[in-house]
Amino acid sequence: MLSSYAVGISPANKSILLMATDSATETLLAEMPGSSDFTLERAPAAETGLARIEASDFALVVLDISGLGSGGLALVHQIRQTRPALKVLVVTAETAPATVLYCLRKQVYGYFSKPFLRSAVQQFVRQALASQAGLDEIEVLSGSPEWMKFRIRCRPETADRLVQFMREMKIDLPPGEREDLATAFHEVIMNAIEHGAQNDPAKDLRIGYLRSSRSIIYYVQDPGPGFKLDELQHAAISNDPESPAGHLAIRTERGIRPGGFGILMARNLVDEMIYNEKGNEVILIKYLKELPSQPEGLLP
């Protein structure tokens, strides 16, 4: 799920360099809404692309590393060495957790493996062109494919980016459940940004990801004072079952924007959602397979 943050294109720089050996990604960019608002240059060869990056100030590089193996990651490294602040969106035919983590460490703006939704890639392109944020919005504090810790800036755009990276970890779940987990993760991050950090981009969230043989666990900590679930009369999670939209009247009375479904939605999309006592840390748990049953005669 993408937020509506920064969907216009900045007037400062509207140039994209496409580094790809086929025309499919070029067609995707050329046919996206608003394509007349930016210039698109193609460099099918790596050497040509690197030379153009060194010579010109592009707003975004769309890099297709399909079929390049480790050479594709080497290109990411070379681009970052040449232009440390340049936004790079990586497209690939095959992905692996180690590749996703490498691109996160190299501060790649976005990452998509095929097949993907054309509209999602196009939205990321528009968002990248419009963004005024730096590339240090996501910091990998520690990382292995099974255990990652991040610091992220409290921006909706940054939440979109991190969730898309985590989608690419290719969790062993059916596609629908995988998207449900991504949606729940996005919702708790957005809730932490809006309510815990008061939409202040100078503040940070701490994010964790843990993959075991039986479950996926996400952890989110915000810098706010926390809350108690039973005191959230303005949120859907506090509604009486016979009045599923009862919180909307309270939000209207308090002058709060429509909404309030995020926590309830997240809880319904995962197997477990657990808050700490203070209310500024939350864990989401999704089981990958049924846990073994207890042998008879044993106490839990």
Asked if residue 188 lies in contact with residue 284, where contact means CB atoms within 8 angstroms, the answer is yes
- As a residue count, the chain comes to 300
Q: How confident is the model at residue 13 (pLDDT cuts 50, 70, 90)?
A: low
Element (H, E) at 250: helix 247-254
Domain assignments of the chain as residue spans, ordered by start: 1-132, 134-291
Residue 170 DSSP symbol: -
Least confident of 12-26, 36-50, 240-254, 268-282: 240-254
pLDDT for 166-221, tens place per residue?
999 878 888 899 999 999 999 999 999 988 999 999 999 999 999 999 999 999 99
**Which CA distances in Å does 183 have to 62, 189, 238, 284?**
25, 10, 20, 11
pLDDT for 122-160, tens place per residue?
999 999 999 888 878 999 999 998 999 999 999 999 999
Q: How far apart are CA 97 and CA 141, in angstroms?
A: 16
Instruction: Select the more confidently predicted residue: 2 or 14.
Output: 14
Tokens coding 79 = 């681009």
* Average pLDDT of the residues of the chain: 83
265, burial (CB in 10 Å: exposed 0-12, middle 13-18, buried 19+): middle
* Residue 241, pLDDT score: 53
Instruction: Select the more confidently predicted residue: 264 or 51.
Output: 51
Give the pLDDT mean for 84-110.
94
* Residue 34, pLDDT score: 80
Judge if the upstream peptide bond of residue 115 is cis by omega within 30 degrees of 0: yes
* Residue 250, pLDDT score: 45
pLDDT for 53-72, tens place per residue?
999 999 999 999 987 877 88
Residue 7 has pLDDT above 80, yes or no: no
29, burial (CB in 10 Å: exposed 0-12, middle 13-18, buried 19+): buried
CATH superfamily of 134-291: Histidine kinase-like ATPase, C-terminal domain (3.30.565.10)
CATH 2.70.98.40 fits 1-132, yes or no: no
Q: How far apart are CA 42 and CA 61, in angstroms?
A: 10
Residue 259 has pLDDT above 80, yes or no: no
Residue 216 DSSP symbol: E
* Residue 158, pLDDT score: 96
Residue 248 has pLDDT above 70, yes or no: no
Percentage helix, strand, coil for the chain under 3-state DSSP, each rounded to 5: 40, 20, 40
Lookup result for tokens 């979109």 = 160
Model pTM above 0.85: no
Residue 300 has pLDDT above 50, yes or no: no
